Amino acid sequence: MQIRLRNEIQLDGQMEVVDQSYPVEATSKNGHLYLIFINEEMEKTVIKCDTAELVMTRFSNPKSIMRFMPEKESIVALHTPLGLQHFVTDTKHYHLDHTHQRLELHYDLKQLEGDGIFASYQMEIRWG
């Protein structure tokens, strides 16, 4: 089974498309879907999702955790080249389609202080 993560990123007026695919283990437990894979940096990555939210955990050092909830903002902690930084995800669109093994997620990554948008993302996750 494979997971495909396709992300269109708007940053500083430029568009970048990141398209990645990895072997994945998919399991369901207590109403949540778990997608577990190793990313390009050899970090275990776990996506836990249901119709109400998605939590992506990268077991980097330190661990990076991102949370997305439809029409809500969440504080996230990300490991960056500058160290651990905190941002806010502002999820504009979230749709989980179990039948077609697909999830769509559109969000802005904002700075924790102020209203500045770091980047805007349109992500599609497929598995199967």
Kindly report, residue by residue over 22-72, the tens digit of the pLDDT. 999 999 999 999 999 999 999 999 999 999 999 999 998 888 899 999 989
- pTM for the full predicted model: 0.91
Angle value at C-alpha 91, between 89 and 92, nearest 5 degrees? 145
Full set of structural domains in the chain with CATH: 2-127 (2.40.128.20)
Beta bridge partners of 121: 9, 107
Residue 97, CA distances (Å) to 5, 46, 48, 65, 94 in order: 15, 18, 14, 23, 10
Reply yes or no on whether the pLDDT at 85 is more than 90: no
Peptide bond into 62 cis (omega under 30): yes
